[in-house]
Amino acid sequence: MITFATWLTLHQSVPYVVAAYLVFLAVIVIYVAIMARRVSRGQQDLADLRAQLAEREHAAIEREHGAVERESEPVG
């Protein structure tokens, strides 16, 4: 049974292999983190805008409805 220390001395290349895989991991993690932040912020903005738009449309419909009611009220 070989110990970890023996294995390390046998494989001088271990740091290089670890470094290469860490570079890849770092690139992917950084990219995904940036994208996830953008997507979540974008979807939040979108939800806010949709709510604002719905509110505005609702107000416009109510205004229109009110105007129609006023027109149909008997005068005098």
Partner 1 sequence: MNPHARHLRGLTLAAAVLLTLGLALGFLWAPEDSTGFIQKIFYLHVPLAIISLVGFVLGGVFGAAYLRTGERIWDMRSYCAIHMALIFSVAGIITGSIWAKADWGHWWLWSEPTLVSYFIVILMFCTYQPLRFSIEDPERQSRYAAVFSIVAGAFVPLNFLAVSLATAYVHPRVLNLEGGNIPGKMKVAFYTALVGYGLLYAALMKFEMLSKTTRIETRRMQRLLLGDDDVRPAGRSAAPVA
Positions touching partner 1 (CB under 8 A) are 11, 13-14, 16-17, 19-21, 23-24, 27-28, 31-32, 35, 38-39, 42-43, 45-46, 49-50, 52-53, 56
Report in angstroms how near the CB of residue 61 gets to partner 1 at its nearest. 16
The half-sphere exposure of 74 on its side-chain side, counting CA atoms within 13 A, is: 1
Report in angstroms how near the CB of residue 33 gets to partner 1 at its nearest. 11
DSSP 8-class letter at 3: -
Residue 42: both structure tokens together:
């974008």
DSSP 8-class letter at 12: T
Report in angstroms how near the CB of residue 62 gets to partner 1 at its nearest. 18
